Each structure stands twice: as structure tokens, then as C-alpha cells.
């Protein structure tokens, strides 16, 4: 087995035992990128020289006995997380040549942990999309089927892990952008509780919804990476000052007596029969392990999609106003007055989906419509959160499918935004309520496409979610299957 195929925790064991070194692991991953990247297109920017420098530094730490769980482990970073001296584009023409002068908090933490950054992963422009087809740099392809999408908006981060182009990766999740691509690519993806991970240095899409989280090949790696990036940060006013537990201690492979809530709204119109079958089989597996299931209800979840597509575009309209061709980023060429320069820069710099959402958001916030749209959406958001509070009063975690269908074909939904938006029907409510969520492989379609199981927990109870996922993983083999590249 090649080094790039191994998990982070297995590589850590080999590194501390001096069986291998980080240089060898990094070279293995970079070689793998050379082999498959031209077909997958998981990356926007590769950083092989930086990676080898960081690997050498990691090896020096390991020699001194200072190896943490991520020391010397190669990873990819979604390209909307600021990296000092390394291009950060957000998948957009308007930031095509932007090089940040500082690191995001999560990057500082990963550097302190001794991790090795191999590149910046492709994404839907400004994280707006469910397929990674909205990237200015072209789409990423699903390693399981090159004619299909990897999910979005963190499609590059998910595909890179699935294709072994990195060991673990970071993405961001605003309405399902970690969990949905994790489902499509057959990997583990975790969206932490809102406020659990600092957003300082994360280029904002929707500030009340965005959260950074890990992709990995198994649950233990997800727990290790989550551990490394969590913690209070005074530079982020939404960062929660709560203790960070040892997430790996939750991985007990024993869920006897755990109560699993099954929302009756899961079995809705549009749920693919193969996804439903895999979901029901996952429930049976967990029941055999000693968990109890109860029917729950999230009655306001049917409004979640509408609420999301008012709140998220409204916040995007405000956040993206800074890209005007004045301070940084792309500026349209020509002799314009100020208003013409704004108009031309934004018209040329943003893609169609970003412009669609800016216009939606601007409309929702405009005079005469704010009360009817944004305020009403905020009120319904509260009802969605209250539904979850009632559900968690009688269960430990909630189970749903992650996505209503397996990965669809590239181009299949580009001209039908509503159908594209429905890809996140199961993931969006979690973001509106600020809850943690996880996607884990739970089966495959007849065409060999991965299917994901979503596990949701109450605020700051990631341990319960990870515990259930780990027990499921240890008693199934879905996570062991690899795409034939």
C-alpha cells in the first residue's frame, strides 16, 4: 500500500516509530497529485515547494520527539481560507491574483501542529454552489465517476481526499458545503457547531452560517483534525469561549443505549430510492449495535430552503460589497467614472451564480421588502432552531440522508438553479440552527456512487455525533472502498 493511501493516524504511528519520515509521505502525495490531478482538478493552486519545506520542519520536530497527531501530515485547504503568501482566490476571477498578508486562525493552528500544506482546493465561486461547477477555474470531477460532480461548494477538498491527493483537508460549510460533497465523494465530512472554530481569515459568504470543518478518510482522522482547529479566538466575535474536549476519547465503538432520532420529514418526495434504502440499512445497523430509535419531527424544515435563500444571499450582498475594484482584487480596464468602474468590475469579476445571489440578497434587504423577506426569514429560522431543541429533548443524535441523490452528472442542473439548490435540502436546517453535523459513507448506488449518512447533534455535542459515526464505521466497510483511478 502506498503512503498516500493511509490515514493520518496510521501515518502518525509510523512517523513516531521512525518507520517513515514526513518528506517521504509528502513526496508520495505530490507524486499522486501528478498522476491524477489532470483528470480530477481538485486544486486551484499547488504548493510543492512550501510542502517540502514544511515536511523538513516536521521531520526536525519528530526527531526531537515533538510530534503531534498532524505533524508531517499533508493536507489541502479550501481556497477561501487565507494563507499568508499563497494565492487565495475563492474560485473567483475577482480575486484571481489575491495573495493574503496573513494566515487564517485555522492555518496558524495547523502550522503550529506541524501539518504540511500541499495546495489550495477548488470550490464554487465564493462558496456559492452545490457542484463545484461555479468555479472560475473550471469544475472538479468526482473520482468515482469523472462525468459527475464532486458536490459543492467544497468539492475540491472532498475530491482531493477521495482521490488520495492529500491525507485530510479543510472545507467550509454554509448550507451543506462540507457534508454534501463528503457524501458525493464517499469520505467523512464534519461541520462543527457554529462558533466552535474561528472564522478569522475565512473569506465571508454568509457570516451567520459559515463554519470551517474537516474532510477525512475515516472518523478518527476527522476527530484529530477537528481537535487541531477548534478553540476560542478573540479576533472572531462569533467564536464561542467554550472548552474543547478530546474528541478522540468519544470514539468508543459502543453506542448501546444511545437514542437516535429519525425525523419523519426525511422520507420526502424527491428522495432517491437507493439513498432511502441505504439510509434504512444504516439505521438497522445502528440498532443491531444496541442503539434505540425514535421517530421525531422537524415540522419547519420544509421552509428551511426558502429561509436559507433569503438569509444567505442577503448576507452575501453585504459581504461581497467590498469587491469594488478599489482596495484589492480585479479592476475592469477602461476609462470609467467611479460608478461605471464599480459596475464593470463587478459585472466582469463575478460569475453568474454569485451575481444571482447578490441580486436576490440586495432585493431582500431593500426598502419596503426587508420586513416581508429578511425579517420573516429570521423569524422562521428561530422556529427551525426550536424544532431541533424539541427533537434533542428526546434523543442523543438525529439521523438523515446527507443528500437526496447520489452525485449527478456535470452540467445536469446548471440551468435549473432550484433543482441545484434542492441538493442541500437535508443539510441546510443544521446551518440555520448552528448545529454540528457529520456525513459518513453508508452505501453505494447500483452505478457505484457513494451515498452519505448525516448525523446531527445538539450544540457543542460533537462527541455524541463522532461516537455514533465511529461505531457505525467500525462495523461496516463502506469507508474502505476506493475509486478506481
**335 confidence band (pLDDT: 50, 70, 90):** confident
Q: pLDDT category, 252, cuts 50, 70, 90?
A: confident
Query: Residue 397: which H helix or E strand, with range?
Result: strand 397-401
Across the strands, what pairs with 443?
451
Task: Of 180, 179, 181, 156, give the one whose Cα is nearest residue 169.
Answer: 156
**Per-residue pLDDT tens over the stretch 394-431:** 999 999 999 999 999 999 998 888 889 999 999 999 99
Residue 92 is a catalytic residue: no
pLDDT the model gives residue 253? 83
Average pLDDT of the residues of the chain: 97
Of 211, 217, 229, which Cα lies nearest the Cα of 185?
217
Per-residue pLDDT of 167-192, as tens digits, reads: 999 999 999 999 999 999 999 999 99
pLDDT value at residue 119: 98
Which phi and psi angles does 345 have, rounded to 5°? -60, -45
Task: Go through the domains of the chain in sequence order and give each one's CATH number.
Answer: 3-258+395-480 (3.90.1300.10)
pLDDT of residue 455: 98
Of 177, 206, 239, 317, the catalytic one is 177
DSSP 232-295: --TT-TT--------GGGG--S--TT-EEEEEGGGS-TT--HHHHHHHHHHHHHHHHTT-EEEE
pLDDT band per the 50, 70, 90 thresholds, residue 15: very high
Instruction: Encode pLDDT of 196-218 as tens digits.
Output: 999 999 999 999 999 999 999 99
According to the model, what pLDDT value does residue 250 have?
A: 87
Model confidence at 269, pLDDT cuts 50, 70, 90, reads confident
Beginning with the edge strand found earlier in the chain, give each strand of the sheet holding 437-444 in spatial order: 43-46, 116-121, 74-78, 168-173, 211-216, 188-191, 437-444, 450-457, 397-401, 259-263, 292-296
pLDDT grade for 368, boundaries at 50, 70 and 90? confident
Kindly name the residue from 153, 154, 239, 439 that is annotated as catalytic.
153
Identify the pLDDT of residue 405.
Answer: 97
| pLDDT at position 241 over 90 | yes
Reported as a single tens digit per residue, the pLDDT across 115-166 is: 999 999 999 999 999 999 999 999 999 999 999 999 999 999 999 999 999 9
455's enclosing H/E stretch is strand 450-457
* Structure confidence at residue 55 (pLDDT): 98
As a dihedral over the C-alpha atoms of residue 45, residue 187, residue 6, residue 10, rounded to 10 degrees, the angle is 120
> Which residues fall within 8 angstroms of residue 38, CB to CB, at 6 or more apart?
none
Q: Cβ-count burial of 94 within 10 angstroms (0-12 exposed, 13-18 middle, 19+ buried)? A: buried
Catalytic residue among 7, 28, 78, 413: 78
Cell of 445: 448506488
pLDDT at 367: 86
Digit-coded pLDDT (tens) for 282-309 = 999 999 999 999 999 999 999 999 999 9
Grid cell for residue 42: 481538485
What is the rounded CA–CA span in Å between residue 119 and residue 157?
10
Cis status of the peptide bond prior to 153, with omega within 30 of 0? yes
Q: Which residue has the cell 444571499?
A: 313
Please state the rounded mean pLDDT for residues 14-21: 98
In the structure, what pLDDT confidence band is assigned to residue 312 with cuts at 50, 70 and 90?
very high
Q: Find, among 59, 51, 55, the residue nearest to 16 by Cα.
A: 59
**294/143 Cα distance (integer angstroms):** 36
Q: Is the pLDDT of residue 433 over 90?
A: yes
Active site residue 135: no
Any idea which residue has 432552531 for its cell?
385
Clarify whether 172 is annotated catalytic.
Answer: no
Amino acid at each position: 500500500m502506498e503512503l498516500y493511501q493511509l490515514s493520518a493516524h496510521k501515518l502518525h504511528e509510523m512517523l513516531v516509530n521512525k518507520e517513515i519520515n514526513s518528506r517521504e509521505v509528502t513526496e508520495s502525495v505530490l507524486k499522486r497529485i501528478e498522476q491524477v490531478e489532470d483528470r480530477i482538478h481538485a486544486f486551484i493552486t499547488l504548493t510543492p515547494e512550501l510542502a517540502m519545506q514544511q515536511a523538513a520542519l516536521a521531520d526536525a520536530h519528530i526527531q526531537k520527539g515533538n510530534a503531534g497527531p498532524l505533524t508531517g501530515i499533508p493536507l489541502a485547504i479550501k481556497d477561501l481560507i487565507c494563507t499568508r503568501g499563497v494565492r487565495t482566490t475563492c474560485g473567483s476571477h475577482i480575486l484571481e491574483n489575491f495573495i493574503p498578508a496573513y494566515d487564517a486562525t485555522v492555518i496558524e493552528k495547523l502550522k503550529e501542529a506541524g501539518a504540511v500544506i500541499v495546495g489550495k482546493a477548488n470550490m464554487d465561486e465564493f462558496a456559492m454552489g452545490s457542484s463545484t461547477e461555479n468555479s472560475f477555474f473550471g469544475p472538479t470531477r468526482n473520482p468515482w465517476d469523472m462525468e459527475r460532480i464532486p458536490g459543492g461548494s467544497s468539492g475540491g477538498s472532498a475530491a482531493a481526499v477521495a482521490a488520495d491527493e492529500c491525507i485530510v483537508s479543510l472545507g467550509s460549510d454554509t448550507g451543506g458545503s462540507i457534508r454534501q460533497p463528503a457524501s458525493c465523494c464517499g469520505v467523512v465530512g464534519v461541520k462543527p457547531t457554529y462558533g466552535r472554530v474561528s472564522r478569522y481569515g475565512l473569506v465571508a459568504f454568509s457570516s451567520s452560517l459559515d463554519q470551517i470543518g474537516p474532510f477525512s478518510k475515516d472518523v478518527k482522522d476527522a476527530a484529530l483534525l477537528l481537535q487541531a482547529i477548534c478553540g476560542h479566538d478573540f479576533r472572531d466575535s462569533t467564536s464561542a469561549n467554550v472548552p474543547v474536549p478530546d474528541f478522540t476519547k468519544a470514539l468508543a465503538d459502543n453506542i448501546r443505549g444511545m437514542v437516535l432520532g429519525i425525523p419523519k420529514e426525511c422520507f420526502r418526495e424527491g428522495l432517491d430510492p437507493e439513498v432511502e434504502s441505504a439510509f434504512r440499512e444504516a439505521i438497522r445497523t445502528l440498532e443491531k449495535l444496541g442503539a434505540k430509535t425514535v421517530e421525531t419531527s422537524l415540522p419547519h424544515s420544509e421552509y428551511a430552503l426558502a429561509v436559507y435563500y433569503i438569509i444567505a444571499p442577503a448576507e452575501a450582498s453585504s459581504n461581497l460589497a467590498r469587491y469594488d475594484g478599489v482596495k484589492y482584487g480585479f479592476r475592469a480596464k477602461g476609462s470609467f467614472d467611479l460608478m461605471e468602474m464599480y459596475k464593470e468590475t463587478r459585472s466582469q469579476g463575478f460569475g453568474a451564480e454569485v451575481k444571482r445571489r447578490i441580486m436576490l440578497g440586495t432585493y431582500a434587504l431593500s426598502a419596503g421588502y426587508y420586513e416581508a423577506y429578511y425579517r420573516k426569514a429570521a423569524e422562521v429560522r428561530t422556529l427551525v432552531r426550536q424544532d431541533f431543541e424539541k427533537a434533542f429533548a428526546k434523543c442523543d443524535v438525529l439521523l438523515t440522508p446527507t443528500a437526496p441523490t447520489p452525485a449527478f452528472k456535470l452540467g445536469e442542473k446548471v440551468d435549473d438553479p432550484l433543482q441545484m439548490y434542492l441538493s442541500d435540502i437535508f443539510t441546510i436546517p443544521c446551518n440555520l440552527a448552528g448545529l454540528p453535523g457529520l456525513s459518513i459513507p453508508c452505501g453505494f448506488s447500483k452505478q457505484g456512487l457513494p451515498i452519505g449518512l448525516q448525523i446531527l447533534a445538539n450544540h457543542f455535542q460533537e462527541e455524541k455525533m463522532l461516537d455514533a459515526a465511529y461505531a457505525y464505521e467500525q462495523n461496516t466497510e463502506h469507508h474502505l472502498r476506493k475509486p478506481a483511478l
